[in-house]
Structure 1
Amino acid sequence: MTSLNTYQNFYFVGIGGIGMSALARYFHASGKKVLGYDKTVTKLTSALVSEGIDIVFEDIIDDKIVGLDKENTLVIFTPAIKKLGILKHFHEEGFTVLKRAKVLGMITQSTNCIAMAGTHGKTTTSSLVAHLCKEADLSFSAFLGGIAENFHSNFIFNGSDFSVLEADEYDRSFLNLSPDWAVITSTDADHLDIYGDTATIEKSFCDFAGLVPSAQQLFVRKGINIGRETKTYAVNEEADFYSDNIREIGDKIYFDFHTENETVKDFEWEIPGIHNVENATAAIALLHSLGVDFQTLKRAIARFKGIKRRYAKHTYGDKIYIDDYAHHPTELDAVIGSVKTFYPDKKLLVVFQPHLFSRTRDFADAFAQSLSAADELVLLDIYPARELQENFEGITSTWLAEKIAMEAKEVATLENAFEIIKNKNFDILLTVGAGNIDTLYDGIVEWLSAKTNIATV
């Protein structure tokens, strides 16, 4: 296949996706001409336009597309895109058209690739690894699945010796990569519309692990059987690398980190949640194995600001607001469990938007159990994403709510959720989900700021 370096034009079909936009930024930073299509104007597409990337929001064959030279243009698309006139045009005209995962795989072949895999935790872990690489001044490019607060971007360019990225299990995309180093955070069942059953997704992770050349360069959460020798990491239990003595002092989290022959006390960072300490443990283990000293790592961990919509916490007097991207029962258990651990006596109101009819159907009982840990629940309508509701008759938020063993619950639309929240009595508000529930965020922050007359912390 022709090298990526031979192309001068890159057209992204679905450029507004978090993974697609990171790739677009990479080629733009490399001096290439980048264009694209997306169906919706978002904060992310607006940012890309402000950076000089040309985006259209109509599925039409415009003059810019007609003027592209097929020998000099690579078209990149996401599997989330189905039938589209623009994509059909490129295929019919003989352009080279590749999936995002294939292009990312080609980049990893020419770099020392550090890949984070797992059904949960990979965005936080990859963003933290990228941040640690930057603080250690390693030569790297990072492609992230979220907006890193330290960089206000999902793409970081600091050279090209290493590539840092998420290894996405959806559609088996991560099997296109060439990982030299890898972390596997979890292998819980998800994307059953693709995999069918738990055994198949677990085998896919084993296949990914098999791509890593050495056990010394593969870091796997203790308890996961990945079918080969690895380095293990854990929290509050012994492993090759582990953290313990976790405590919250003010707005900071402190923990001790252990290697097989060394203990480093009092790592400090700002990101709440036991699961986030686990992600930090993996990142520290990997960077230390790359030769970065603990003094640098301690300083870097303390400076990490997190990722947008990953346990984003604000305090307003005696009230706390947390916003999180969790959309799987295991993720809900982690975020709700962390809230209950650190604030056992505070009343927790959870506002949750289920993501995908298929995921809601496949994990309904687990969702019900996870959400029942809240003191009060507002359940929003299911966010369909790529799915059509008529293909999932009877799968609704009302159907899910009936399975949840609690009295203080109600189903609401996104449109009336804010007014419902304002009339609730709570100590902690948690908005959670992967759809468009994030549109509530700014209004809630403004309301709580005005209500308490206290700036967000």
Structure 2
Amino acid sequence: MTQPGQDAQPVRGRERLERLGARVERGHDASHVEDAVALIMTAAIPSDHPEVVRARERGIPVLKRADALGAWVNRGCVVGIAGTHGKTTTTAMTTEVLAAAGLDPTGLVGGTVPHWEGNLRAGGSDLFVVEADEYDRSFHTLEPDVAVVTNLEADHLDVYGDLDGVEEGFRVFLRRVRPQGRVAVCGDDAGAARLLPALPGTGYSYGLSAGVQLRAVDVSQRPSGTRARVVEEGRELGDLELGSPGLHNLRNALAAAAVGRHLGASWDQVREGLAAYRGVGRRFQRLGEVAGVALIDDYAHHPTEIQATVRATRDIYPDRRLVAVFQPHLYSRTRDFHREFGRSLAGADVLWVSDVFPAREKPLPGITGALVADAATDAGAVDVRYHEDVASMPEAVAGTLRENDVLLVMGAGSVEDVGPRVKALLTGGADGAVTHA
């Protein structure tokens, strides 16, 4: 296994991979594939990458990760969790529900589940629960028996062009559902709900709105999580207690419940599975409270995700100053959505914005994080600070924090290091001294 990339960062979990017998290399070197029987590459790797070129020269099969995933899981019963947002959380929740029902699934997510010690729950059955990722049309390699669409919005416009292209990509995915399969769609989301008319006999809706088939009612939110009653086809199933905050996570839990019910789980088993769900890394991950500052880390990198995360934080900490840190992800996404980013971030009391994390992309002229900072100011944000270098962000932010603040760090790139480093600074004292209000 090699770790190519612009910054050649170490593979997370490298030591665990090596204990399992994997040889992990760093950097770009054609010699890494000399003895390979196959090369699996993510969609972010260009076709002229030296290891890809060498593999093809030597006749070594080269597969995209999505093709390898489909070849593996399509041999069994597949639950594919699709959507612009919420895939990782919903996949993990669904896996826990099906495990509680005794179905022993294999779950594969795009994040880290702490009690799985990684992104994989290795099951003993032929049931697979996987994220169905729309980027690069990766989910078109899956043949689901059960498909979920959590929501549908414009994203990855570098691939799809516009919202119509995104919708067509999802329709193609749903046409791959096997005969007698089931599609569960969030009826609260306008984009997802538009798919329902094309699903005669297979469509099933869930959410908080009147008219959906699996509905949460009498919803109450508290700092510890969310509580609701759940009704299925007009019949009350019972109460649901969820430790993850926010209505978006309640909808994710309903998606997991819908899959569980379709595959035979009792309501008690659904509740047991959701109680076993203890979160996914960087999905509203609470890093603790240090020196009177609550620290939260989140993967949100789309305007809708940010809006939901900011709202959930406000609901939990209504009387505390909210300091948000955001790193835009991808030049193309920043170009397409900088105004929407600004509006969704404007609810913070203090907003720090860094430059763009490029990931797989090359810079675009005139596209920087300053566009987001300016858009937030235009949207009414009172205190916006553009700090280009995310590496020095922790020291800059820590020095301005006050007792009783909430620090919310958001983004899908190297900003993930900011929360833990601020925590270390606050714990260490002088370098991260907190102002007492």
TM-score (norm 1): 0.85
Q: Distance in 1 between matches of 2:9 and 2:396?
A: 28
- Checking the alignment, whether the CA contact within 8 Å between 2:229 and 2:239 is kept in structure 1 is yes
Measured against aligned partners, the alpha-carbon deviations of 1:91-119 in whole angstroms (never above 9, x if no partner) come to 01111211111111112321100000011
Q: Distance in 2 between matches of 1:348 and 1:250?
A: 15
Q: 1:442 to 1:319 in 2, by over 3 A?
A: closer
By how many angstroms is 1:13 displaced?
Answer: 5.7
By how many angstroms is 1:314 displaced?
Answer: 4.4
Residue of structure 1 equivalent to 2:435 = none
- Checking the alignment, whether the CA contact within 8 Å between 1:13 and 1:78 is kept in structure 2 is no
Residue of structure 2 equivalent to 1:21 = none
Match of 2:220 among 220, 239, 247: 247
Q: Distance in 2 between matches of 1:152 and 1:255?
A: 30
Q: Secondary structure at the match of 2:233?
A: coil
Query: Is residue 406 of structure 1 aligned with residue 381 of structure 2?
Result: yes
Match of 1:370 among 317, 320, 344: 344
Residue of structure 1 equivalent to 2:101 = 136
- Checking the alignment, whether the CA contact within 8 Å between 1:316 and 1:449 is kept in structure 2 is no
Match of 2:310 among 336, 357, 362: 336
Amino acid at match of 2:411: G
Residue of structure 1 equivalent to 2:422 = 444
Bigger mean CA offset, 258-267 vs 270-279: 258-267
By how many angstroms is 1:416 displaced?
Answer: 2.3
By how many angstroms is 1:441 displaced?
Answer: 2.5
Match of 1:322 among 296, 311, 328: 296
- Checking the alignment, whether the CA contact within 8 Å between 2:185 and 2:204 is kept in structure 1 is yes
Match of 1:350 among 301, 319, 324: 324
By how many angstroms is 1:345 displaced?
Answer: 2.8
Unaligned 5+ segments in structure 2 are 433-437
Q: Secondary structure at the match of 1:406?
A: coil
Match of 1:416 among 387, 392, 413: 392
Q: Secondary structure at the match of 1:349?
A: strand
Residue of structure 2 equivalent to 1:23 = none
Q: Distance in 2 between matches of 1:13 and 1:179?
A: 30
Amino acid at match of 1:367: F
Measured against aligned partners, the alpha-carbon deviations of 1:367-412 in whole angstroms (never above 9, x if no partner) come to 11111111110001111111122xx111112232222232301111
Q: 1:384 to 1:179 in 2, by over 3 A?
A: same
Q: Secondary structure at the match of 2:137?
A: helix
Residue of structure 2 equivalent to 1:301 = 274
- Checking the alignment, whether the CA contact within 8 Å between 1:120 and 1:185 is kept in structure 2 is yes
What is the total number of aligned residue pairs between the two structures? 414
Q: 1:50 to 1:198 in 2, by over 3 A?
A: same
Q: Distance in 2 between matches of 1:443 and 1:401?
A: 23
Matches within 5 A, 1:98-113: 98-113=63-78
By how many angstroms is 1:203 displaced?
Answer: 0.9
Q: 1:319 to 1:254 in 2, by over 3 A?
A: farther
Q: Secondary structure at the match of 2:272?
A: helix
Taking every aligned residue pair, what percent have the same amino acid on both sides? 32
Matches within 5 A, 1:40-59: 40-59=9-28
Amino acid at match of 1:316: E
Q: Distance in 2 between matches of 1:402 and 1:250?
A: 32
Q: Distance in 2 between matches of 1:244 and 1:180?
A: 29
Q: 1:53 to 1:216 in 2, by over 3 A?
A: closer
Q: 1:13 to 1:105 in 2, by over 3 A?
A: farther
Measured against aligned partners, the alpha-carbon deviations of 1:163-207 in whole angstroms (never above 9, x if no partner) come to 110111011111111011011011100011111111111111111
Measured against aligned partners, the alpha-carbon deviations of 1:341-367 in whole angstroms (never above 9, x if no partner) come to 333332211100000111001011111
By how many angstroms is 1:450 displaced?
Answer: 6.0
Q: Distance in 1 between matches of 2:248 and 2:145?
A: 25
Q: Distance in 2 between matches of 1:402 and 1:252?
A: 34
Q: Secondary structure at the match of 2:13?
A: helix
- Checking the alignment, whether the CA contact within 8 Å between 2:4 and 2:27 is kept in structure 1 is no
Query: Is residue 434 of structure 1 aligned with residue 409 of structure 2?
Result: no
Bigger mean CA offset, 437-446 vs 112-121: 437-446
Q: Distance in 2 between matches of 1:304 and 1:122?
A: 15
Unaligned 5+ segments in structure 1 are 1-11, 17-37, 453-457
Residue of structure 2 equivalent to 1:28 = none
- Checking the alignment, whether the CA contact within 8 Å between 2:223 and 2:317 is kept in structure 1 is no
Q: Secondary structure at the match of 1:146?
A: strand
Matches within 5 A, 1:74-89: 74-82=38-46, 83-89=48-54
Q: Distance in 2 between matches of 1:61 and 1:363?
A: 37
TM-score (norm 2): 0.89
Match of 2:133 among 168, 171, 179: 168
Amino acid at match of 1:433: G
Query: Is residue 394 of structure 1 aligned with residue 358 of structure 2?
Result: no
Amino acid at match of 2:401: K
Amino acid at match of 1:78: T
- Checking the alignment, whether the CA contact within 8 Å between 2:3 and 2:25 is kept in structure 1 is no
Query: Is residue 289 of structure 1 aligned with residue 262 of structure 2?
Result: yes
Bigger mean CA offset, 380-389 vs 416-425: 416-425
Q: Distance in 1 between matches of 2:75 and 2:261?
A: 23
Q: 1:180 to 1:15 in 2, by over 3 A?
A: farther
Q: Secondary structure at the match of 1:403?
A: helix
Residue of structure 1 equivalent to 2:34 = 66
Amino acid at match of 2:336: D
Query: Is residue 228 of structure 1 aligned with residue 192 of structure 2?
Result: no
Residue of structure 2 equivalent to 1:31 = none
Q: Distance in 1 between matches of 2:172 and 2:33?
A: 38
Measured against aligned partners, the alpha-carbon deviations of 1:267-296 in whole angstroms (never above 9, x if no partner) come to 222111110111001101110111111112
Q: Secondary structure at the match of 2:329?
A: coil
Q: Distance in 1 between matches of 2:248 and 2:111?
A: 17
Residue of structure 1 equivalent to 2:156 = 191
Q: 1:141 to 1:386 in 2, by over 3 A?
A: same
Q: Distance in 2 between matches of 1:424 and 1:193?
A: 38
Amino acid at match of 2:45: I
Q: Distance in 2 between matches of 1:14 and 1:130?
A: 28
